[in-house]
Amino acid sequence: MLNLVLTSLNALSLNVLRRTTKPLMGSLLVGATLCSNVLQAEPITLEQTVAVQHVTELTISADGKYTAFIRNRPRNPYTEDDGSSYRELFMIQDKGQEIPFVTSDVRVGNLKFSPDSSQLYFVSKRGKDKFAGLYRIAVNGGEASQVLSHGNNIASYDISQDGRHLAFIAKPAEPKTKEQLTKKGFKAEVYEEESELTQLWLADLTASELKPEVIAIEGNVLSLSFAPDNKHLLIRTAPTALIDDDYMASQYQVVNLAGETVQQFATAGKLDKAVFSPDGSKIALIGSEDIHDPSAGRLLLADLKSGQVTDILPDYMGHVQDLAWRSNTELEYVGHVGTEAEVGRINLRNMKRSDVVKAGNGIVTTLAIASNSQHARVLLNKAGHPAEVYAMTKRGALNRLTNSNPWLADISMPKQETVRHKARDGLELQGILVYPLNYVKGQQYPVVMVVHGGPEAHISNGWLDRYASPVKLMASEGYIQFFPNYRGSTGRGVEFSKLGQNDYAGKEFDDLVDAKKHLVDIGLADASKVGITGGSYGGYASAWAATKQTEHFAASVMFVGISNNLSKFGTTDIANEMHLVHARSYPWQKWQWYLERSPIYHAEQAKTPILIMHGKEDTRVHPSQSLELYRYLKTHGKVPVRLVLYPGEGHGNQKAAAQLDYGMRLIRWMDHFLKQGKTELPAHQLMHSDKIKQAKGSEEDKTSAERKDAA
């Protein structure tokens, strides 16, 4: 059967298959470091790329003795049923030993230690649970027990420092009549108006039976945390449950346990994390410069008594990613600056800033500091490994504590570096360049430009391997890859992040052409073999490159991208954000401008083969955006175009099978049109059925061998 399928596909499809058939190197998981001294490093496969595990969450106990973290473990798409990745719970004791706590096929999250550091709380849906409930487990091990089951999923929670109260946020319990109505066929949906608000609930942990009571709060509650006095809560609320209000209209306020507002904080624009100082007199938060700031990245300090909010890092030429209190007078933060990351400390007595971890030591994303000790932990990734837990001393020394993928020690690692160049108007730009594995100076290579979304995002010089950008695999296949931080990216201050506003697809996408020109001018790129890909706003760039800028790009892969700015405004769930931090106008104010800044307007001139992929359940960029561009190009009939839709996926593929399928199609498209120089469409089939049969046969052979050994 395999031979029959192979003959029905072209050789290029076989080449893609071969990239995915190497085993996941399970035999190397033990003693990989020793093996790496003997075995020659080899290229990574696509299956390995989507199977990479990484740490997604961590917390540290108040006494600093225990660190808990969540490790994300993707499913094997050929041996396991479809579904989201597993999220396993591990503990690191004070001696550095990593211990599995809640593992196997589980999904755990929202970790918090009890105030006395004896228990670890988490949210999970286990056994026969209908909804995600609150659990706890002793730090010295044992079985986890359920603390609370609510009539809906518990979104987040906190425990007062005296251990008496539990506060959590959740939607009201689902009415029993809902299931009955659905069975009878009454399933009409009233768009947006049926969105239920998330409520604030309070329970007495000292009671013999937990009976949570709702605290009346106006609006949708998005986050909560107890004040050190145990009598107040810091909450973030938005007027409605719509994502647009979460982005653009939320506010922080302090309420007492009866729900009465004690203090409100006047902020504008997007908000992120907020934390009480140890004495409860101040609140540090990540906010925005103004309502038009594309991303929350300013470090703000709010006084609880007066309500005054101050930017304590004015004109910071970076983006604040996380924060934590070291003491009442010392505040530490993670900052992303350009393509690197730093950890800084601010002395609030004199407002002087000092370096804790200087830029260039890895991409720190998360910071956790023990409240009653000097211990701290960070999540950090580098070009050679995804996010792992590191210990950080008060002076900034880093010590790696986890190794989620020991087999990476035996994988060939391409050279990766920051590249600086100038746009045509003289603006300095940055990006990350990944060289081919066997790079030869003076030789030109095919290039794949990977454009980030947002545009209020940025690419750091860390772990870049994803299903949509299989960096190490493509480097082994002889590609140069370039990740541009075009104008409008974060990481270089608010002013830089606003440079693309009111200029859809203008200078921001001219920056991409200028990046290509730079790579050609320095002798790296073959000008006739440059492809482009990206998701969301990066998908918009990929569509623009295939239409308006078609003469510059030989192949394009557009993912969850924008093709029509007029219809996009009417089908997205972030129309208000589009107006305030992107277009700075409404479509009815300049119809023609919105149309001309849309790829469909330039479809007739398209010469670039484009593969369009989209999640069918996407609410951010509706799949109709991809359908529109496909139909325009298909009807015009002068350029190869293909549309692939992923049922059950939204604004990005979350499940391993969909990720693997996406990666295979991406690579095949670039190989076909960049390397092979073909002009017709490649085959659309992929060989998943045969891979499943092969995996099943291997499993049966293994079972049979085990039975013989047992006999």
pLDDT digits (tens, 9 = 90+) for 363-400: 999 999 999 999 999 999 999 999 999 999 999 999 99
> pLDDT value at position 40?
65
pLDDT band with cut points at 50, 70 and 90 for residue 177 = confident
Percentage of the chain with pLDDT > 70?
Answer: 93
Query: What SS3 class is residue 433?
Result: strand
Q: Could you report the per-residue pLDDT of 281-317, keeping only the tens digit for each? A: 999 999 999 999 999 999 999 999 999 999 999 999 9
Going by C-alpha positions, the residue among 358, 323, 335, 330 that lies closest to residue 346 is 330
Asked whether 557 and 673 are in contact (CB, 8 A), the reply is no
Rg over CA atoms, the chain: 26
- pLDDT for the residue numbered 708: 73
Which of 27-41, 253-267, 592-606 has the lowest average pLDDT?
Answer: 27-41
Q: Give the percent of the chain with pLDDT over 90.
A: 87
Options 3.50.50.60, 3.40.50.1820, 3.30.70.20, 3.40.640.10; CATH of 443-654? 3.40.50.1820
Residue 1 has pLDDT above 70, yes or no: no
Residue burial 390-417, b: 16+ Cβ < 10 Å; e: rest: bbbeeebebeebbbbbbbbbbbebbebe
User: Mean pLDDT in the chain?
Assistant: 92
Helices (runs of H) and strands (runs of E) counted in the chain: 16, 36
Q: Determine the pLDDT at residue 453.
A: 97
> What's the pLDDT at 194?
84
Q: Give which of 568, 557, 637 is closest to 604, Cα–Cα.
A: 637
Element (H, E) at 87: strand 86-92
Phi and psi torsions of 149, nearest 5° = -120, 125
**What confidence category does residue 174 fall into, taking pLDDT thresholds of 50, 70 and 90?**
confident
Whole-number Cα distances in Å, 552 to 423, 536, 564, 611: 16, 21, 21, 17
Q: What are the pLDDT digits (tens) for 463-511?
A: 999 999 999 999 999 999 999 999 999 999 999 999 999 999 999 999 9
**In the predicted model, is pLDDT for residue 19 greater than 70?**
no
Angle among Cα 413, 384, 71 to the nearest 5 degrees reads 135
Averaged pLDDT, 425-429? 98
Torsion angle (degrees, nearest 10) of CA 335, 336, 342, 348 = -20
Q: What is the pLDDT of residues 321-360, one digit of tens each?
A: 999 999 999 999 999 999 999 999 999 999 999 999 999 9
Q: Which pTM was predicted?
A: 0.92
> Tens of pLDDT along 42-53?
999 999 999 999
C-alpha 556/C-alpha 532 separation (Å) is 5
Q: Residue 368 is encoded by which pair of tokens?
A: 């956790």
In the chain, the N- to C-terminal Cα span, in Å, equals 33
Alpha carbon distance 159, 167 (integer Å): 6
Mean pLDDT is lowest, of 15-29, 193-207, 250-264, 687-701, for 15-29
**pLDDT: is 515 or 176 the higher one?**
515
